[in-house]
Amino acid sequence: MRIWSILSFAVVSTLGPISPAGAEGLGAPNKGSEPAPATLYAQVTVLHATNSGKGIDPRIGQMPELRKPPFSAYDTYVLLERTRLPLVKGSPKRLPLPNGWVLETQLGERVSADEVRFSAAVTKPNGKEFLPLLKVKARIGQRFVVAGQSHQKGILVLVIRPAR
């Protein structure tokens, strides 16, 4: 649990405001005269972090955050999965994680053409929240990192970014 508190601080300090989410803050629907918004996705990269001395999987690509605290507490990162979940207002999308937990994402509102609010939550198999529903405001392409879920002598690191 200590790892989660350190990593959650990194998310807040690096990527901007995050607050507990409720139903409030969901934007108004588009007016008929406005063009339909482009389809948005949550690009989710699932990493396994351990201290097994194997370095960073080259398939991960450039992610300098992994070499800085608190993520540098782990010396090995392996890419487990990359997927795109549609970000749809009012329609949560779920991704089963390798440890049996579930990531859920949902579009909140478009702040501008290049910025959105979306939510993310992680629940355990028994339905209990590991990460309560968070609302994130991010630019298209900006990474949001959720880490700390136990998995095979390490942790899972979820890198989520809104994308077109």
Q: Taking 90 as the threshold, does the pLDDT of residue 24 lie above it?
A: no
Cα separation, 13 vs 103, in Å, equals 22
- C-beta separation of 78 from 48 below 8 A: yes
Could you read off the pLDDT of 95-107 as tens digits, one per residue?
999 999 999 999 9
Cα separation, 151 vs 30, in Å, equals 42
**Reported pTM:** 0.76
Domain spans, the chain: 2-19+51-163
Rg (CA), the chain: 16
Please give the torsion angle defined by the CA atoms of residues 117, 84, 94 and 158, in that order, rounded to the nearest 10 degrees.
-80
Could you read off the pLDDT of 107-161 as tens digits, one per residue?
999 889 899 999 999 999 888 887 777 889 999 999 988 888 899 999 999 999 9
